[in-house]
Amino acid sequence: MVRTKVDIESNGKIRCDACPVLCYIKDGRSGACDRYANDGGELVRVDPLTIMQQRELDAGDVVSFVPKDGVSAWNGSLLSDKKSFVTAIGAGTTYPDYKPAPFIVSQQYDDVDMVTVVTEGIFSYCGTKVKIDTDRHIGPEQALVHVEGEAIGHVMTGEYGSQMLSLGGVNHLTGGSKKEGRITCESLLKLCNREPVDMQIENGAQLTVQAGQAPIVNGIKEQRMRVGCGSATIGMFATQWKPHVDEVVVVDDHITGVLSEHQAGKLLGMQPTGIKVRGRKSTPGRYFQVAEPGSGWGGTDIDDPLSILDPFKENVAKAGLRLLMVSTTGEQWAYFELDDNLQPCSKPLPDALKVSVERIAENCEPSLCSVLFMGGAGGSLRAGVTENPVGLTRSVGQMLTQVTCGGAPAYVWPGGGITVMVDVMQMPSHAFGYVPTPALVAPIEFTLRRSDYEALGGHMDAVQSVEDISDLVERHVSVDSRVDWPTDHRHFAWKRP
Instruction: Measure Cα distances from 138 to 134, 156, 184 in Å.
Output: 9, 11, 20
Give pLDDT, residue 55. 63
Q: Map out the domains of the chain with their CATH numbers.
A: 47-124+378-495 (no CATH), 126-223 (2.40.30), 230-362 (no CATH)
Give pLDDT, residue 489. 61
Q: Out of 96-105, 154-163, 172-181, 274-283, pick the least confident.
A: 96-105
Give pLDDT, residue 79. 39
pLDDT tens digits along 94-129 = 887 778 999 999 988 878 889 999 999 999 999 999
With 0-12 / 13-18 / 19 or more C-beta atoms within 10 angstroms meaning exposed / middle / buried, residue 464 is middle
pLDDT tens digits along 372-420 = 999 998 867 899 999 999 999 999 999 999 999 999 999 999 999 999 9
Give pLDDT, residue 60. 44
pLDDT tens digits along 445-475 = 999 999 999 999 999 999 998 888 877 776 6
Examine the pLDDT at 62 and tell me if it is beyond 60.
no
Q: Which residues pair with 166 in a beta bridge?
A: 129, 154
Examine the pLDDT at 496 and tell me if it is beyond 70.
no
3-state secondary structure the chain: CEEEECCECCCCCEECCCCCCCCEECECCECCCCCEEEECCEEEECCCCEEEEEECCCCCCCEEECCECCECCCCCCCCCCCCEEECCCCCCCCCCCCCCCCEEEEEEECCEEEEEEEEEEEECCEEEEEEEECCCCCCCCCCEEEECCEEEEEECCCECCEEEEEEECHHHHCCCCHHHHHHHHHHHHHHHCCCCEEEEECCCCEEEECCCCCCEECCEECCECCCCCHHHHHHHHHHHHCCCCCEEEEECCCCEEECCCCHHHHHCCCCCCCCEECCEECCCCEEECCCCECCCHHHECCCCHHHHEECCCCCCCCCCCEEEEEECCCCCEEEEEECCCCCEEECCCCHHHHHHHHHHHHCCCECCEEEEEEEECCHHHHHCCECCHHHHHHHHHCCCCEEEECCEECEECCCCCCEEEEEHHHCCCCCCEEECCCEEEEEEEEEEEHHHHHHCCECHHHEEECCCCHHHCCEEEEEECCCCCCCCHHHCHHHCC
pLDDT tens digits along 291-321 = 999 999 999 999 999 999 999 999 999 999 9
Instruction: Measure Cα distances from 494 to 373, 395, 398, 488, 497 in Å.
Output: 28, 11, 9, 12, 8
Percent pLDDT > 90 in the chain is: 69
Q: Out of 42-46, 158-162, 177-181, pick the least confident.
A: 42-46
Q: Which of 197, 193, 178, 190 is nearest to 437 (CA)?
A: 178
With 0-12 / 13-18 / 19 or more C-beta atoms within 10 angstroms meaning exposed / middle / buried, residue 403 is buried
Q: Out of 313-317, 433-437, 481-485, pick the least confident.
A: 481-485
